[in-house]
Amino acid sequence: MELFWQILGYIIPALVVFGTTYMVIRAFLDREHKMRLLEFRQAHLREALPVRLQAYERLTLFIERISLNNLLPRVRKQEMNVSEFRTALINNIRLEYEHNLSQQVYVSVDAWNMIRAAKEETISVINRNAMSMLPELPGVELHKKIIAELAESEEEATSQKVLVQLKKEVMQLYGK
C-alpha cells in the first residue's frame, strides 16, 4: 500500500505540472492565433481598401454620367429625332450600367439597390417623356421636355440620394 501512495505522490504533482503547462501553452497558442488572424485581417483591409474606394469612385461617376442633366447634352446630336434620341439615351445608360456591374461586390446591398433604382428611374423619365411625343419630332424637343420636367420636380432626385449614400459608406470605411 505504501508503494501505491509513493506512486500517487509522484503522479499527482506530475499531473498538476502537466495540466498547468497545457493551459499555459494553450493560452499562448490561442493568443498567437488571434494575433495572426488580426494581422491577416489588417493586411487584407490594407489591400482591399483601395479597390473598394475605386469602386465607390466608379459608381459615383456612373451616377453622375446617367444624371439627366449630364446625359442629355452628351448623347444628343442635332440630326436625331425623338425615337433615335430615346434609344441612344437608354443604350448609353445600359452600357454604363453593364460596365459597372462588378462594382456591386464592393458596396452595400442598400447602395447597390439605390443605384439600380436610380438607373431605372432615369430610364422611366426618358420613356415617359418620349412616349408622349411623336417619334419623328426633333430630339431637341425631347431634351427640352425632360429638362422642363426636372425643373418642375421639387422632389430630390434618386441620383442625389445615391450620392449621399455612397459618401456615407466611404466615411464609414474611415471610421467617421
Does residue 119 form part of some domain?
A: yes
The per-residue pLDDT for range 4-30, each reduced to its tens digit, is 888 888 888 888 889 999 999 999 999
Number of domains the chain contains: 1
Residue at grid coordinates 485581417: 41
103 membership: H or E segment, kind and range = none
Burial 62-97 (b: 16+ CB within 10 A, else e): bbeebbbeebbeebbeeebbbbbbbebbbeebeebb
Q: Is residue 142 in some structural domain?
A: yes
DSSP conformational letter for 156: P
Of the candidates 52, 149, 138, which has an alpha carbon nearest to the alpha carbon of residue 157?
Answer: 149
Residue 56 lies in a domain: yes
pTM, two decimals, is: 0.73
Is 13 part of a structural domain of the chain? no
pLDDT recorded at residue 28: 92
pLDDT tens digit sequence for 64-84 = 999 999 999 999 898 999 999
- The pLDDT value recorded for residue 74 is 93
Residue 24: inside a domain? no
Residue 103, domain extent: 50-173
